[in-house]
Amino acid sequence: MKKFPEASRRLARRLHRRMLVIAYGRSFAATAIILAVGVAPACAAGDVKAGRQKALQCQTCHGMDGTAKMPEAPNLAGQSEMYLAKSLQDYRNGARKNEIMSIVAAPLKDQDIADLAAYFAAIPVTVGEPPK
């Protein structure tokens, strides 16, 4: 195969780059929409009742009422559903590590995480006066 001279190869590369910039620019909005739609099914809607059943395995440390039963464990009651789900996803994928929670979260399915997050987030909490 005949080789292109260096100058035309450079020109081709530059044109290619420019085309990519234009293509990306045009498709940015479309890509954003596709990403948003594509990501949405990953955030399964949580079911509080199913979550209560699944939370039985968490109660030794977090309590069925979402208040911690051991000093190292945080309260989960009334915590933001999004935060709970993200924490569990992070333990599962290794972005957040803890010797207990990494093991607890490893077998959880997306639906389990959504249900557990919905359950603990749904526990009402009341807050008293902060110390002065």
Which parts of this chain interact with ligand HEC (CB under 6 A)?
57-58, 60-62, 72-74, 76, 84, 87-88, 98, 100-101, 104, 116
Least Å from the CB of residue 130 to ligand HEC: 19
Q: Which two tokens stand for residue 78?
A: 């009334």
Least Å from the CB of residue 81 to ligand HEC: 10
Helix, strand, coil percent values for the chain (each to nearest 5): 60, 0, 40
Q: Which residue is nearest to ligand HEC (CB)?
A: 58
Least Å from the CB of residue 103 to ligand HEC: 9
Spell out the SS3 assignment of 17-47: HHHHHHHHHHHHHHHHHHHHHHHHHHCCCCC
